[in-house]
Amino acid sequence: MNYKHIEEILTDDIAGKVVNIRGWIYRKRRVGKLIFFVLRDSTDIVQCVVDKKTAGAEKFKMLDKVGVESSITLTGTVQKEERAPTGYEVHVQNFEIVGESYNFPIGRDKSDEFLLDNRHLWMRSREMNAILKIRSTVFDALHEFFVENGYYETHGPMFVTGAVEGGSTLFEVPYFGRKAYLTQSSQFYLETLIFSLEKVFTIAPSFRAEKSRTRRHLTEYWHAEAEVAWYHNEDMMRDEERMIVHIIQRVLKDRKKELEMLNRDVEFLKNIDTPFERMKYEKIIEFANEHGLELKYGDDLGADEETFITKHFNAPVFVTHYPQEIKPFYHRPDPDNPRVVLCHDLLAPEGYGEIIGGGERIYKLEVLLRRLEEENLNPDDYFWYVDLRRYGSVPHAGFGLGVERFVWWLAGLDHIKHAIPYPRTIRRLTP
């Protein structure tokens, strides 16, 4: 039997023709000797009508009895029908219930917590379906961008022995009588790989034992990271802004329907183009103060500060030249002003905040050793990272994009947990 997807049958060309479709019952009601149900599959929904005479009394009764989310295959004629939710209706000649469903737990007006407890079932919702498709397109467009621009895909290990982003958010795991950690970032490994491949990227999970409860932190997230030999801070930012615009364009082209379903302001996204504004950290502090948020030089920008600041933006903005004290040790100090480092964070507008962290890495051995010492870190723990500066070191830069952070903003979601199928947070480990 040749089945069509619902999306394919919602056209005037198919109207009047007999088709086979299959999926799940999304809504259902009986009106006398007719049963109307809305069928959904991965692509769309369509209204179907079954009349008792065609179906036969017994099958009609069976269909009447089963609940929403029963799976079903059917054969029917497509008809144009203005009043149906997607403009067409299928007059069913024959159907088969494949898997019955009774008392599906998810109905209207369930709390966020309830939906998270039942996320394995909530995945079927129209809303999740739209988010999952956008997410899939983002991964696809990321690969497309990197490969088209000469980056090689590669991978670091997930079990590691050291911190990249600070020890306080490391997850410890037992490792055959030793201690290992789950990786916070593949950056250091990517740095080793540029000495072979020059331009590398990876899309992999990163793990952070985040205790803060914000709208933007998960304990496990997908991290798109890149590292490039011979690049300086500005070179890296140029690739990043092109990458962001490339992905937005792809999503607008292929996922417009889904964005609209989520009530995302599509016009806002259409207007985003390169180059993105660059603002020094110093200027951001001034900007915040001018807009009524009291910050002083040296303060870190957390979720709340960035939410406040980026509500005033209508496109992503790079914030550069942060003070050395509030950034990890590996950032290259600015030769013109060693109090600041050659780094950048990309802040998404509309109150979302940081989606990328990146910058130039220290490439001189003596500078790296000095910075490790200043931060009270033991160079032996980083012996292989230090080695890179011993054997043919080169200037290089890189970045990390939190894929869920990006999807969260792109789809206009209220919390990052909606941007990943199974979110992991301090309180949530199931399903």
Residue 41 CA to residue 43 CA, distance in Å, equals 5
Report if residue 361 touches ligand ATP, rule: CB under 6 A: no
Indicate the residue type of 184. Answer: Q
Residue 405 binding ligand ATP, by CB under 6 A: yes
The number of beta carbons lying within 10 Å of the beta carbon of residue 33 is 12
Which is nearer to ligand ATP, 60 or 406 (by Cβ)?
Answer: 406
What lies within 8 Å, CB to CB, of 88 at 6+ separation is 9, 10, 15, 46, 47, 78, 79, 80, 81
Shortest Cβ 87–ligand ATP spacing (Å): 39
User: By rule CB under 6 A, what string of x and - marks binding of each residue 122-161 to ligand ATP?
Assistant: ----------------------------------------
Between CA 264 and CA 285 the distance in angstroms is: 30
- How far is Cα 256 from Cα 53, in angstroms, rounded to an integer? 41
Binding-residue pattern over the window 222 to 241 for ligand ATP, x denoting contact by CB under 6 A: -x------------------
* Sole binder of ligand ATP in the list 44, 191, 210, 241 (CB under 6 A): 210
Residue 58 carries which DSSP code? H
Which residues, 6 or more positions from 114, have their beta carbon under 8 angstroms from its beta carbon?
A: 106
Return the residue of 130, 226, 355, 397 that touches ligand ATP, per CB under 6 A.
355
Minimum Å gap between C-beta 346 and ligand ATP is 7
CA distance 158 to 54: 58
223 within 8 A of 403, measured Cβ to Cβ: yes
Closer residue to ligand ATP in complex, CB, 191/354: 354
Q: Are 417 and 218 in contact (CB under 8 A)?
A: yes
Give the shortest CB-234-to-ligand ATP separation in angstroms. Answer: 18
User: Stretches 6-14, 213-221, 278-286, 318-326: which one binds ligand ATP (CB under 6 A)?
Assistant: 213-221
Q: Which residues of 243-276 are buried (b: 16+ CB within 10 A; e: fewer)?
A: bbbbbbebbbeebeebbebbebeeeebeebeeeb
Rounded to whole angstroms, the Cα distance separating 398 from 227 reads 4
CB of 404 to ligand ATP, least distance (A): 5
Choices 39-47, 254-262, 311-319, 395-403 (CB under 6 A): range interacting with ligand ATP: 395-403
- Per CB under 6 A, the list member of 218, 237, 259, 279 interacting with ligand ATP is 218
- Give the x-and-dash track for 162-181 against ligand ATP (CB under 6 A): ---x----------------
408 binds ligand ATP (CB under 6 A): no
- 217 scored as a contact of ligand ATP (CB under 6 A): yes
Comparing CB distances to ligand ATP, the nearer of 23 and 357 is: 357
Q: Judged by CB, which is closer to ligand ATP: 85, or 323?
A: 323
Residue partners of 178: CB distance under 8 A and separation at least 6: none
Nearer to ligand ATP, 365 or 377 (CB): 377
Q: Of these, 400, 407, 409, 423, which contacts ligand ATP (CB under 6 A)?
A: 400
Q: DSSP label at 125? A: S
State which residue, 251 or 347, has the beta carbon closest to ligand ATP. 347
Least distance (Å) between residue 150 CB and ligand ATP = 23
Which range touches ligand ATP (CB under 6 A), out of 5-13, 17-25, 118-126, 351-359? 351-359
Cis peptide bond prior to 395, omega within 30° of 0: no
We find the least distance from the C-beta atom of residue 67 to ligand ATP, in angstroms, to be: 37
Closest CA to 318 of 235, 248, 407, 250: 235
Q: Name 109's Cβ contacts closer than 8 Å, sequence gap at least 6.
A: none
Phi-psi region of 292 (alpha: psi -120 to 50; beta: other; left: phi over 0): left
Shortest Cβ 210–ligand ATP spacing (Å): 5
Paired with 94 in beta bridges are 75
| Residues that bind ligand ATP in the complex, under the rule CB under 6 A | 165, 208, 210, 216-218, 221, 223, 354-357, 400-402, 404-405
